[in-house]
Amino acid sequence: MTTRTATLKGGGTIRYVEVDDPPAGGMKKTFFTPDKKQVVQFFHDAAAARDVNRLARLEAVVGRYNPTLDPTTGEYFRKLFCWPTGIVVAPTVGVVCPAYPQTYFFEAGPFSGKEKKGKWFSSPKLRGYLPASELGDWIKYFQICLKIARAIRRLHAAGLAHSDLSCNNVLIDPARGDAVVIDIDSLVVPGVFPPDVLGTPGYIAPEVLRTLHLPLNDRNRSHPCAATDQHALAVLIYEYLLYRHPLRGPKIHSATSAEEDEMLAMGEKALFVEHPAETSNRPTGLTAAYTDFGPHLADLFKRAFVDGLHAPNRRPAAVEWERGLMRSWDLLHPCAGARCPHKWFVVAGPGSRCPFCGTKPGRVPVLKLRRQVKPGQWMPDGELVVHGSVGVFPWHAFDNAQTGERAERKRLGYFGVQAGQWLLVNEHLDSLTTESGNRVPAGQAVALIEGKPFQFSTGPHGRLAEVAYY
């Protein structure tokens, strides 16, 4: 091993440790700095040094489009992105990035030291090789999906697209519910910087594969953009929640060529394995279905893989996935099944049971949230399934409270059972009020009695909660 020096654009240098067989992807090879806190990545293609577009893209990515530089939310997004911090101009063109936290490398077993790419966790076969300590409970995959959706929402809000969103370019840690989006240097700025790559098989949008035969400058050819990210995001979320690919089923499109069959199955002839009307691609023995995850996610999956699979403008945006996952998070409930491999499920309505093991919960209290549209008139505004691990946060109590990177995460109340009665214990709600108009001060509780509503706050934007039991 030899320590060498790279020159940075704009002045300065950075030292890196040269090794004979560095980690390498499709576009770059990676070397660590001596303290292993950063990596220096060089592009394989020597022509990169002469590519004006690539250098301009890197400058834009490291500079004006960089969400990690935001003084308010930058720290939050530094955990969701492995965002380049500098551009290398010698000995060849490359980027400097933070090193991934050690939690994104396997700690034990035969894969110790390897990156935790998503396919290890979304493939039932590959999951079988991993130690139980790495797999995490189902609620952690929900957290992962939410964080990925939030990261892509932030990219799209800035007019950017990832262009190669896939299980290879998102590292996940199901033991902790964390995710980080990598390979940021190939971002697409529509109309300014064209994409470098088509994407990763299995995540490339059907319209890209369908028009791949057309010349690059043909206006009918589809290129990676925000709409193709939306397809890849939906695929990732489906894989992480259901442990299967949404388009890979038994239907054969070409009996003579495996390559042609794959192109058709992922492109022109792509068909959702759970299509409600066309069942020719449905695998046998499916247990949990996308419709088991409550109304918010069921609608999003239908729009992504039925309505929008071949109609990009009908796909749900990343911000819609973020909202739908957040609303569905409030419907999660622990599974009491002793042998349930997932430990959590979505309470989608009365009579819900765990789709993974069939266990039906006992009587589950549910708060039906309402927002006031005018005095005396309340409209439905979500639900909160109650159990011992859930709390009340500002986004539950107030209809204008933010979630995401700007959220106020102070818990306002928690739930418990006393003498068989579910209670909401007030911690920080200044005007929690019962149906009869009595204030419930901090440290005291309101009973969750079926049919008896209460108000989290009598101030502006305070929500009403109607109590039901499923």
DSSP letters along 136-160, please?
Answer: --HHHHHHHHHHHHHHHHHHHHTT-
User: Nearest CA to 27 among 101, 94, 122?
Assistant: 94
Give the pLDDT score at 132.
87
Give the pLDDT score at 45.
78
Per-residue burial over 354-383, b = 16 or more CB atoms within 10 Å of its CB, e = otherwise:
bbbbeeebeebbbbbbbbbeeeeebeebbb
Q: 278: exposed, middle or buried (C-beta count within 10 Å: 0-12, 13-18, 19+)?
A: exposed
- The DSSP 8-state label assigned to residue 460 in this structure reads T
Distance CA 70, CA 77 (A): 9
Instruction: Give the model confidence (pLDDT) of 391-442 as tens digits.
Output: 999 999 999 999 999 999 999 999 999 999 999 999 999 999 999 999 999 9
Give the pLDDT score at 12.
94
| Other Cβ atoms within 10 Å of 273 Cβ, number | 22
Helix, strand or coil, per DSSP, at residue 104: helix
- Quickly list DSSP for 320-334: HHHHHHHHHHTTEEE
Instruction: Give the model confidence (pLDDT) of 120-130 as tens digits.
Output: 999 988 998 89
User: Nearest CA to 391 among 421, 359, 367?
Assistant: 367
Q: Which residues contact 276 (CB under 8 A, 6 or more apart)?
A: 302, 306
pLDDT exceeds cutoff 70 at 49: no
Distance CA 212, CA 228 (A): 14
- The DSSP 8-state label assigned to residue 60 in this structure reads H
Amino acid letter for position 254: S
- The DSSP 8-state label assigned to residue 167 in this structure reads T
Distance CA 451, CA 379 (A): 16
Distance CA 445, CA 254 (A): 64
As a whole number, mean pLDDT of residues 245-254 equals 96
As a whole number, mean pLDDT of residues 66-77 equals 96
Instruction: Give the model confidence (pLDDT) of 318-329 as tens digits.
Output: 999 999 999 999
Distance CA 3, CA 198 (A): 35
Amino acid letter for position 147: K
pLDDT exceeds cutoff 80 at 193: no
Percent of the chain at pLDDT > 70 equals 99
Q: What global pTM score does this model have? A: 0.95
Class of domain 1-99: alpha beta
For the chain, the average pLDDT equals 94
User: Phi first, then psi: what are they for 6, rounded to 5°?
Assistant: -110, 150
Backbone dihedral region of 65: left (phi > 0), alpha (psi from -120 to 50 degrees) or beta? alpha
CATH number of 104-330: 1.10.510.10
Please give the CATH architecture assigned to the domain spanning 365-469.
Sandwich (2.60)
- DSSP-derived pairing of the beta strands 445-447 and 454-455: unpaired
Instruction: Give the model confidence (pLDDT) of 153-168 as tens digits.
Output: 999 999 999 999 999 9
| Inter-residue contact 184 to 215 (CB < 8 Å) | no
pLDDT exceeds cutoff 90 at 340: yes
Backbone dihedral region of 71: left (phi > 0), alpha (psi from -120 to 50 degrees) or beta? alpha
Domain ranges across the chain: 1-99, 104-330, 365-469
Give the pLDDT score at 181.
97
Q: Which residues contact 338 (CB under 8 A, 6 or more apart)?
A: none
User: Nearest CA to 240 among 157, 188, 178?
Assistant: 178
Helix, strand or coil, per DSSP, at residue 370: strand
User: Nearest CA to 107 among 147, 73, 135?
Assistant: 135
